[in-house]
Amino acid sequence: MVGAFLRALRPKQWLKNGIVFAGVIFAQKVGDPQADRLAIWAFILFCLLSSAVYLVNDLVDLKSDRLHPIKRHRPLASGALPASVGVAAAAVFGVGALAASFAVNVPFGWLAGAYVALNLAYSFGLKHVVIVDVFAVALGFVIRAAAGAEAIQVTISPWLLICTVLLALFLALSKRRHELVLLEANAGDHRRSLAEYSPYLLDQMIAVVTASTVVSYSIYTMWPETVRKFHTQSMIYTVPFVIFGIFRYLYLIHQREEGGAPEKIPLSDVPMIVNLLLWLATVALIVYGPL
What is residue 72's predicted lDDT score, i.e. its pLDDT? 82
**Residue 230 pLDDT:** 87
| pLDDT recorded at residue 67 | 74
Number of domains in the chain: 2
Please give the backbone phi and psi of residue 233, each rounded to the nearest 5 degrees, phi first: -100, 10
pLDDT of residue 108: 94
Compute the CA torsion angle 237, 243, 245, 250 (nearest 10 deg).
180
Same domain membership, residue 219 and residue 138: no
The confidence score (pLDDT) of residue 3 equals 85
Same structural domain, 122 and 2: yes
User: For the whole model, what pTM was predicted?
Assistant: 0.86
Spans of the chain, pLDDT less than 50: none
User: What is the CATH number for 28?
Assistant: 1.10.357.140
Domain encompassing residue 67: 1-156
User: How far apart are alpha carbons 75 and 6 in whole angstroms?
Assistant: 9
Task: Return the exposure string of 7-25: e unless at least 16 CB atoms fall within 10 Å of the residue's CB, then b.
Answer: bbbbeebbebbebbbbbbb
List phi, psi (to 5°) of 186. Answer: -90, 5
Examine the domain organization and report whether 72 and 195 are in the same domain. Answer: no
- The pLDDT tens digits for 98-131 are 999 999 999 999 999 999 999 999 988 888 888 9
| Terminal alpha carbon distance of the chain | 51
Give the pLDDT of residue 20.
Answer: 92
